[in-house]
Amino acid sequence: MQAVILAAGEGTRMRPLTYTRPKVMLPIANRPILEHLMEELAKAGVDEAVIVVGYRDETIRSHFGEKWNDIRIRYVRQSKQLGTAHALLSAEHVLEDRFLMLNGDAIIFEDDLRKLVKERNGIAVFEVPNPEDFGVVEVVDGKVSRIVEKPEKPKSNLINAGVYAFTKEILNYVKKTTVSIRGEYEITDSITMAISEGFEFKAVKIERWIDVGYPWDLLKANEELLKNIESKIDGEVEENATIKGNVVVGEGSVIMSGVYIVGPVMIGKNCRIGPNCYIRPYTSIGDNCHVGAAVEIKNSIIMAGTKLPHHNYVGDSVIGENCNFGAGTKIANLRLDEGEVIVNVKGKAVRTGRKKFGAAIGDNVKTGINASINVGSMIGNDVFIGPGAVVSGFVEPHSKVY
């Protein structure tokens, strides 16, 4: 079975984390989103993946190569990201008669994928409490009758999960698809056109679906995946270190004396943890990281090569690669009034739906001693934050804050 994976976009809503990598390569549970999806596809019997790439495609190509596990990989470049229908058309020359089409920035699991593999033409639908925020799928007698984008009064709680079973016949409608009001060629418009001409798509209800739109969604996804890990200690755990619950420690990592870890927690390879630090549940720490004395991390993603060496607090945050926090740098994760955290995204105030969210910090950020990062801050890559500085809101890449 063939799968076409759309992975060309930058993911602008994921800035500042996507300034230096495509969205599909953001890590959750210490592996890129796309890798988790590829693993589930392999388990469901997919043996070839056509990955449609574009933005920073070298990151994807170098990670997966020409074969990943038992999946042969072909790459198709979408030089301009003009929508999902345009992306599929970019892959026309390599398509088999039947194939799956998926977004590379969402995870669907083996059991649900197997349901779709059985269908010639099917659309994955997922039940949510807030359908007005998605494309709502209306179903009649098990068949999709309509897809309505973000309706004010949804007629259904079923949304389009962006996972499809197609035959090559869909291309007849893709080629006739016109530009939408959002300025893109959208596969949902192609599907609507096909339905209007009598084409039938089965509504395939799925049980698990992890979708990430904003940086704080990575924390929820990380939590979901860490719930299912089993303890595996391949590194060294010194005497007087305490490990509770399910914890993974990679090869070459050292958990030093006085460290207290409460799982589920995942620690990568060649990390130095401790002495005397506290790592709380639902934390992922990438390879080659250092977490030092009197540091506390809670419910966070720390990417590879980052150093939190002295008296730091990081809660409910996503920290990019190769960052270095000065002694005493702390991230606030709770408003004083305990209200919902509001974040500046692309110049607009966006509700996170979270009472606790600290910061999203890009790669190569350095802070001086006793720097303070306020709740809901978004900090671009290669930013320098001076000693004692207080940071709030959105900070552009390559800035200096004093």
The residues annotated with a catalytic role in the active site are 310
Q: How far apart are CA 357 and CA 331, in angstroms?
A: 10
Q: Is residue 155 within 8 Å of residue 145, measured between CB atoms?
A: no
Query: CB within 8 A of 15, min separation 6: which ones?
Result: 345, 346, 378, 380
Q: How far apart are CA 298 and CA 300, in angstroms?
A: 6
Residue 141: exposure state from Cβ atoms within 10 A (0-12, 13-18, ≥19): exposed
Q: Of 42, 218, 201, give the one whose Cα is nearest residue 114.
A: 42
| The dihedral sign for the CA sequence 377, 304, 63, 115 | negative
- CA angle at 318 for the pair 206 and 56, rounded to the nearest 5°: 75
Q: Is residue 326 within 8 Å of residue 282, measured between CB atoms?
A: no
Give CA 4 to chain center in angstroms. Answer: 18
